[in-house]
Chain A
Amino acid sequence: MLIEQIKEGDINAFRQLVEKYKDVSLSLTCSILKNEVLAEDVLQEVFLKVYHNIKSFKAKSSFATWLYRIVVNSCYNELKRIKNHQNITEIDNNLYYDNIDLEHKKLNTKEQQNIINTALKKIKSDEALVLRLFYLCELKISEIEKITSYSKSKIKVDLHRGRQNLQSVLNKLLGTEIENLL
């Protein structure tokens, strides 16, 4: 219904669509680009592409799958464009480390989010992306396959390694304070 309204040029319907998907899409973008400012710029371009190409969406798959595929492709294109990607990752991670205050106290939501995001930035892009697609977007492996063009076996391996690496990074970051995360 919303998609049909957008196809007819209803900008308010598009606004609703953006509101619905922007945070999850930004999380996926951050998984690959590892930099929130850059990720938001790329996401703006993604939504512009979506608005201008919405007529080519034929509803063969769900809208979310179509959108996330554009998100993933745009991020990889951006990565190709940026030569000094490694520097950005390092700068951003350092910022996060500075912001984490690991005193003996129950962490608030924002602090928890910062720590988990730092840990996700530390693991491989593929693993972070697959983890978020599976657990945050609640997609099936077959849908992740369509979005990322990874094989089923790679997705399963990335999920397994992603979980392990996430725990390992969180252990390193928090040590005995890990129980404060939940």
Chain B
Amino acid sequence: MKDDLTTQLIKKSKVETTSDFTDKLIHKIEAQTELKKSRTRLFANALKYAIAAIIVICIVIPFFLDTLSFRITKTPLYVLCALLLLVSFNYILKLRDMEKSLQ
């Protein structure tokens, strides 16, 4: 087959995408960008509450136990600590759900 004939034939073989190809693609990109932002936000929140819980466990409770002359009950502090850890864990679960939805 001659070159110019092949060129003509192959040029005619150009396959066209569906009409909403670009829109679908842009929508996917926007959704991924939004998910990425949400993921960062969730991770930051989880980290924030985990750090707060660690501070309560390592600094606040020993401070109240060691330095203050009056006695306080430790229970509220442990409850606070548990709450902070629960909130942090909740954000981690949300993060995991988001990862699943991305797959």
Contact = CB atoms under 8 A, between A and B. Distances in A.
Given A44-B25, A48-B28, A167-B1, 12 more contacts: A19-B22, A27-B13, A27-B14, A36-B15, A40-B18, A40-B21, A109-B12, A131-B10, A132-B10, A166-B1, A182-B8, A182-B9
A18 B22 contact: yes
Contact of A23 (B1, B6, B14): B14
Interface of A: 11, 14-15, 18-19, 22-24, 26-27, 30, 36, 39-40, 43-44, 47-48, 51, 109, 112-113, 116-117, 120, 131-132, 135-136, 163-164, 166-167, 170, 181-182
Contacts of B99: none
Most buried by B among A116, A117, A181: A116
Nearest to A134: B10
Contacts of A117: 13, 15
Instruction: Give the top 7 A-B pairs by smallest Cβ distance, nearest first.
Output: A135-B10, A116-B13, A167-B1, A163-B1, A27-B15, A135-B7, A26-B15
Contacts of B10: 116, 131-132, 135-136
B26 A11 contact: yes
B15 A11 contact: no
